[in-house]
């Protein structure tokens, strides 16, 4: 097991390094002189030159990259020149919001998708199965922002039971906080559940055809036990992969929902940084988000090993 | 990103139960809808309808009428005309961007799957790096800095699609490269180029094309999302996404302004997904070869 | 034939709809096994023996259609409802499949797979079930049984895995054990051990057993009665010694000739049976074996011979030109 973990970690490092390089390059090579932007209408050629020298912008790019990387490795991601906050502070502020959204969305998606998948797999080919498969397929063609509009129209405009935008921290007002999260989380969940359902269902149908399921039936075990213990466990690998990939994707991909519902999360932080040309924030946050995604994949791999003992022992 | 990822993920899961896949009525309806959208998009300039940019401040949010079949939007512009011109945008971006992914990603994937070794590791690793970035952020950053234009949008969405096409091409190549017809070609002394072009490409092309259609669906959605936020095609160009975004302000008085383009987008995306998915099931390289 | 058999398969047929037409996997088979007796079912791959075992166990694929009766201990299994059937399983009717690598669940421990069987049918608490499991593993010859409980199937060798499968099958003291090609997936060296284990347990528990195999050599000396199947039907049935001494079916003769013999000279070519079994979706008019039979004539191609017991009630065969000479003599 330790060997397995070490090997995976070794692969991680070059990827993370490449991600940091790419992030830096994107932020630095984009046109729009930073010094001009900061100085705004106070910009004169001498001031711009001076500021550039102060900020080290006249150094060669590879030098700046190494400098930045060095700071990053010490934990110093830099400070926004707009707000004065450090990157880490800004992220720490926004992370709980994005996190709560991601977790709620994935939980709701699982709560819808997993039972449906099991029910459809158990009676595959039946009426429920065919109906759910078509519905899931149709759902996949509904973009997130469309579901958002629909839900806002239904619940906020017509029925007026839920707020369309807004946020209050969980610590302050738990029930209020959750009210603000219902529509956004539901919007994302509507995009998540079809994928979860289809993949789990397909995996379970294949598993149910295995010999060991036939033997489990021959042993006279209860159908519920066969379904939930013998069939679900081998199929749960795929479920874990999908969930991990989804959450990883949601880390940066919930920005549409955050923007529509005005939630102060990481997505909105990034959009803001792009607009105000707050490159420090942009670089730092993108690196963190990408690193988070890579780490998420790593965790998924580890969970894989836990769930399938064959991988743990190096067999498959 | 929806069905596209599903196509990759279902490769991870066990192969789904095979069902005799016939081209049912839904398939043909999807083809019909796509053909219709194509037709109106191409014929847009010659169709007898008001210009999509003509604002009539007296007729804002007007209901359906003989003058304006689908009414007008918040600025008095003809909804139907905007819808049709919006189709042009969606189709242009939706078709051109995946072409980039198809050609570059497809080529990289085939080469990686064929030559294996360090080259393959390099290609797969770079794709992993590209995939680590939240795609919308990348698209936003590029369009914000390089300027909002249809060209920039198409380019960045195209580049973002490269890893997915690479994976599909590589997976097909890995499966096919070990088949007898490739070994036979090698035994006959064919060069790498010959094998790649004459033997592998025709077979890899099939799943790639099916995937391309799924990619079109995803791109339409991505462009729609960006335009919805006002960050995609520059105003005043009509795009279904921007129409929905504008319609959002009138949800309480004229929800149709958001829902009409929404339905158009949904039907188009659904159709491409249907056709792509059906073709994907039909052209799975695991089932045979040309 | 013994009076009241434990298991009596009566006119059972299994049909499978396929895209190419109806597939008759089992074609009106009658068989019986008495309590404590062993029946061997021998035939090539595709002859329907596995489908027959699935039919007896009521584990046919969803699309399959079963006709006829499967009388077990006085009940027709085909007409039993699901919960009654479940009660019978493991306690009365148990099975060992061919490949223990696929018949044991790879993500559950051996212990779990044993204990769940015990707890499903016997009112045992976990501690007693564990104890019983250890005893079972020891009884089937697995060393260090306590450690095995927390191990996974892939950590054991093929022979060990099959022993585990046998332990699971025997755990609730079934009256009938069906062993479907229990040694085909194992090394030759291990095969005899497994077969001996089965025979030993069977004697000890006075259990009835059906031993399904494609190898005539496996049933020699280990079964009381043998039924030879071909193309979905039983073509010969006899007490084992009678079958080997005075076989009547040309197919049985060919099967026996195909077994390599120790006393044959080195490099003696094995007489293989030419041709292939018929396509089950296109049944032949006459005898199914006629395209490959040495003794075939016109009548064989036209009419299907019925299973008859012309000579003695114990020995049945379906052939118009049965071999009359005892094996060992000159053909």
What is the tens place of the pLDDT at every residue in B148-188? 888 989 999 999 999 999 998 988 888 877 777 777 777 88
User: C142-168, pLDDT tens digit by residue?
Assistant: 999 999 999 999 999 989 999 999 999
Least confident stretch, A62-66, B109-113, C259-263: C259-263
Q: Provide, as residue numbers in chain A, all residues whose Cβ is less than 8 Å from the Cβ of B224.
A: 143, 145
pLDDT mean over A238-249: 81
| Banded pLDDT at B18 (limits 50, 70, 90) | very low
Q: Which domain holds residue C14?
A: 5-102+174-230
Q: Provide, as residue numbers in chain A, all residues whose Cβ is less than 8 Å from the Cβ of B139.
A: none
Q: How many CB pairs under 8 A join A and B?
A: 150
Q: What are the DSSP calls for A211-238, one per residue? A: HHHHHHHHTT--HHHIIIIIIHHHHHHH
| Banded pLDDT at C124 (limits 50, 70, 90) | confident
Q: Chains near B, with 3+ CB pairs < 8 A? A: A
**Is the residue at C202 inside a domain?**
yes
**Is the residue at C207 inside a domain?**
yes
User: How many DSSP H helices and E strands does chain B contain?
Assistant: 12, 0
pLDDT mean over B60-76: 79
**Is the residue at C278 inside a domain?**
no
Domains within chain B, CATH numbers bracketed? 70-284 (1.10.3720.10)
Nearest residue of chain B to residue A239 (CA atoms): B13
Q: CB distance C97–A211 less than 8 Å?
A: yes
Of residues B27 and A247, more confidently modeled:
B27
Report d(CA B205, CA B167) in Å as an integer.
Answer: 13
Nearest residue of chain B to residue A207 (CA atoms): B14
Q: Is A255 on the interface with B (CB under 8 A)?
A: yes
Report d(CA C120, CA C107) in Å as an integer.
Answer: 19
Q: Provide, as residue numbers in chain B, all residues whose Cβ is less than 8 Å from the Cβ of A195.
A: 2, 5-6, 9
Q: Is the pLDDT of residue B9 over 70?
A: no
Q: Is the pLDDT of residue B8 over 70?
A: no
Q: How many CB pairs under 8 A join A and C?
A: 79
| Torsion (CA) B150, B154, B157, B158 in degrees, nearest 10 | -170
Q: Is B9 on the interface with A (CB under 8 A)?
A: yes
C-alpha angle C12/C15/C20, rounded to 5°? Answer: 155
User: C45-73, pLDDT tens digit by residue?
Assistant: 888 898 999 999 999 888 899 999 999 98
- Please tell me whether residue C209 adopts helix, strand or coil conformation: strand
Of residues B21 and B122, more confidently modeled:
B122
Report d(CA A129, CA A116) in Å as an integer.
Answer: 9
Partners of C31 in the β-ladder: C9
Q: Provide, as residue numbers in chain A, all residues whose Cβ is less than 8 Å from the Cβ of B223.
A: none
Backbone angles phi, psi at A123, to 5 degrees: -120, 60
**Is the residue at C117 inside a domain?**
no
The share of chain A scoring above pLDDT 90, in percent, equals 23
Of residues A48 and A219, more confidently modeled:
A219
Q: Is the pLDDT of residue B287 over 50?
A: no
pLDDT mean over A216-232: 91
Q: Provide, as residue numbers in chain A, all residues whose Cβ is less than 8 Å from the Cβ of C106.
A: 212, 234, 308-310
**Counted domains in chain C:** 1
Report d(CA C51, CA C55) in Å as an integer.
Answer: 6
Of residues A69 and B224, more confidently modeled:
B224
Kindly report the nearest CA distance between residue B130 and chain A, in angstroms: 8
User: B76-89, pLDDT tens digit by residue?
Assistant: 888 888 899 999 98
Q: Is A229 on the interface with C (CB under 8 A)?
A: yes
**Is the residue at C161 inside a domain?**
no
| Banded pLDDT at B264 (limits 50, 70, 90) | very high
Question: Which residues are within 8 A (CB) of C57 and not within 5 positions of it... i.e. 6 or more apart?
Answer: A218, C93, C95, C178
Report d(CA A30, CA B36) in Å as an integer.
Answer: 40
Least confident stretch, A184-188, B99-103, C120-124: C120-124
| Banded pLDDT at C104 (limits 50, 70, 90) | very high
| Banded pLDDT at B24 (limits 50, 70, 90) | confident
Q: Provide, as residue numbers in chain B, all residues whose Cβ is less than 8 Å from the Cβ of A142.
A: 266, 269
Q: Is A143 on the interface with B (CB under 8 A)?
A: yes
pLDDT mean over A114-132: 91
Interface test with A, best of B5, B6, B13, B118 (most A CBs within 10 A): B13
Which positions 116-145 of B are in contact with A (Cβ < 8 Å)?
125-126, 128-129, 132-138, 140-142, 144-145
- Please tell me whether residue C70 adopts helix, strand or coil conformation: strand
Q: Provide, as residue numbers in chain A, all residues whose Cβ is less than 8 Å from the Cβ of C82.
A: 223
Q: Provide, as residue numbers in chain A, all residues whose Cβ is less than 8 Å from the Cβ of B144.
A: 274-275
CATH number of the domain residue C204 falls in = 3.40.50.300
Kindly report the nearest CA distance between residue A311 and chain C, in angstroms: 11
H or E segment and range at residue A12: helix A2-29
Nearest residue of chain A to residue C84 (CA atoms): A220
Provide the pLDDT for residue B288: 36
Kindly report the nearest CA distance between residue A187 and chain B, in angstroms: 14
Longest Cα–Cα distance of chain C, Å, equals: 68
C208-213 and C38-42 strand pairing: parallel
Provide the pLDDT for residue B61: 79
Structure tokens at C24: 């008759």
Q: Which of B81, B71, B73, B72 has its CA nearest to residue B46?
A: B81
Of residues B196 and C233, more confidently modeled:
C233
Question: Which residues are within 8 A (CB) of C254 and not within 5 positions of it... i.e. 6 or more apart?
Answer: C271, C273, C292, C294
Which positions 31-90 of B are in contact with A (Cβ < 8 Å)?
none
Kindly report the nearest CA distance between residue A123 and chain C, in angstroms: 11
pTM (2 d.p.):
0.78
**Is the residue at C226 inside a domain?**
yes
Q: Is the pLDDT of residue A19 over 90?
A: no
């Amino acid at each position: 097991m330790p060997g397995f973990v070490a090997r995976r970690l070794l692969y991680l490092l070059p990827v993370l390094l490449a991600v940091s390089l790419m992030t830096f390059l994107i932020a630095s090579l984009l046109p729009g002189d930073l010094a001009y932007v900061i100085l705004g209408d106070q910009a004169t050629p001498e001031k711009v030159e001076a500021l550039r020298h102060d900020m080290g912008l006249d150094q060669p790019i590879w030098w700046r990259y190494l400098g930045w990387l060095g700071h990053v490795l010490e934990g110093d991601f830099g400070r926004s020149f707009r707000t004065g906050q450090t990157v880490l502070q800004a992220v720490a502020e926004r992370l709980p919001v994005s996190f709560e959204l991601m977790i709620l969305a994935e939980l709701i998606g699982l709560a819808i998708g997993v039972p449906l998948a099991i029910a459809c797999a158990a009676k595959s080919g039946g009426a429920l199965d065919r109906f759910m498969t078509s519905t899931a397929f149709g759902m996949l063609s509904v973009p997130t922002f469309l579901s958002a509009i629909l839900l806002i129209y239904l619940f906020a405009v017509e029925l007026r039971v839920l707020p369309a935008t807004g946020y209050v921290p969980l610590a302050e007002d738990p029930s209020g906080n959750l009210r603000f999260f219902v529509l956004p989380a539901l919007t994302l969940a509507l995009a998540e559940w079809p994928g979860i359902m289809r993949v789990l269902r397909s995996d379970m149908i294949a598993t149910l055809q295995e010999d060991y399921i036939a033997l489990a039936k021959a042993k006279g075990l209860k159908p519920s036990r066969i379904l939930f213990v013998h069939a679900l466990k081998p199929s749960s690998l795929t479920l874990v992969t999908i969930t991990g990939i989804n959450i990883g994707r949601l880390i940066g991909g919930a920005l549409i929902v955050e923007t529509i519902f005005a939630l102060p999360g990481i997505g909105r932080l990034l959009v803001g940084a792009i607009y105000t040309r707050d490159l420090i924030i942009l670089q730092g946050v993108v690196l963190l988000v990408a690193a988070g995604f890579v780490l998420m994949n790593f965790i998924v791999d580890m969970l894989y090993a836990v769930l399938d003992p064959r991988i743990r022992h190096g067999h498959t | 990103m929806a069905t596209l990822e599903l196509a990759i993920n279902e490769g991870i899961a066990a192969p789904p139960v095979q069902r005799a896949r016939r081209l049912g009525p839904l398939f043909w309806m999807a083809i019909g809808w796509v053909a219709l959208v194509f037709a109106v998009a191409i014929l847009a300039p010659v169709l007898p309808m008001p210009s999509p940019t003509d604002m009539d401040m007296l007729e804002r949010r007007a209901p359906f009428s003989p003058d304006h079949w689908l009414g007008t939007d918040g600025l008095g512009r003809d909804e139907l005309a905007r819808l049709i011109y919006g189709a042009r945008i969606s189709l242009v971006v939706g078709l051109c961007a995946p072409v980039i992914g198809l050609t570059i990603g497809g080529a990289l994937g085939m080469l990686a799957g064929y030559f294996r070794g360090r080259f393959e590791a390099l290609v797969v690793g770079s794709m992993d790096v590209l995939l680590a970035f939240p795609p919308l952020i990348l698209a936003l950053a590029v369009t914000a800095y390089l300027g909002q234009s249809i060209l920039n949008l198409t380019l960045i969405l195209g580049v973002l699609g490269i890893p997915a096409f690479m994976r599909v091409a590589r997976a097909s190549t890995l499966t096919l490269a070990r088949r007898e017809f490739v070994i036979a070609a090698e035994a006959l002394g064919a060069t790498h180029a010959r094998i790649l072009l004459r033997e592998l490409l025709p077979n890899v092309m099939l799943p790639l094309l099916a995937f391309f259609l799924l990619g079109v669906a995803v791109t339409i959605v991505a462009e729609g999302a960006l335009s919805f936020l006002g960050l995609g095609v520059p105003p005043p160009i009509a795009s279904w996404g921007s129409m929905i975004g504008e319609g959002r302000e009138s949800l309480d008085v004229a929800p149709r302004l958001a829902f009409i383009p929404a339905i158009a987008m949904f039907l188009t995306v659904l159709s491409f997904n249907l056709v792509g998915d059906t073709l994907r099931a039909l052209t799975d390289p695991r089932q045979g070869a040309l | 034939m013994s009076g009241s058999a434990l298991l009596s398969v009566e006119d059972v047929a299994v049909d499978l709809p396929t895209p190419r037409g109806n597939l008759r996997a089992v074609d009106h088979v009658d068989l019986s096994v008495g309590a404590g007796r062993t029946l061997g079912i021998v035939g090539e791959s595709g002859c329907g023996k596995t489908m027959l075992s699935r039919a007896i166990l009521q584990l046919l694929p969803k699309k399959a259609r079963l006709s006829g009766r499967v009388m077990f201990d006085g009940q027709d299994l085909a007409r039993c409802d699901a919960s009654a059937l479940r009660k019978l399983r493991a306690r009365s009717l148990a099975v060992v499949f061919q490949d223990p690598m696929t018949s044991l669940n790879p993500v559950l421990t051996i212990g779990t797979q044993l204990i769940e069987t015990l707890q499903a049918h016997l009112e045992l608490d976990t501690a007693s079930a564990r104890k019983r499991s250890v005893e079972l593993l020891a009884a089937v010859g697995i060393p260090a049984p306590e450690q095995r409980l927390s191990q996974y199937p892939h950590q054991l060798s093929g022979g060990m895995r099959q022993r585990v499968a046998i332990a699971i099958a025997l755990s609730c003291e079934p009256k009938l054990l069906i062993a479907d090609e229990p040694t085909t997936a194992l090394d030759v060296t291990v095969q005899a051990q497994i077969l001996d284990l089965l025979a030993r347990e069977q004697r000890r528990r006075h259990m009835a057993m059906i031993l399904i195999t494609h190898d005539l050599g496996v049933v020699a000396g280990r079964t009381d009665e043998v039924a030879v199947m071909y193309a979905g039907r039983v073509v010969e049935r006899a007490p084992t010694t009678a079958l080997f001494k005075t076989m009547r079916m040309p197919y049985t003769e060919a099967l026996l000739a195909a077994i390599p013999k120790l006393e044959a000279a080195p490099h003696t070519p094995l007489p293989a049976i030419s041709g292939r079994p018929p396509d089950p979706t296109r049944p032949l008019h006459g005898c199914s074996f006629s395209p490959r039979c040495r003794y075939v004539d016109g009548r064989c191609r036209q009419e299907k011979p019925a299973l008859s017991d012309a000579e003695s009630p114990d020995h049945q065969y379906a052939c118009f030109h049965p071999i009359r000479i005892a094996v060992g003599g000159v053909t």
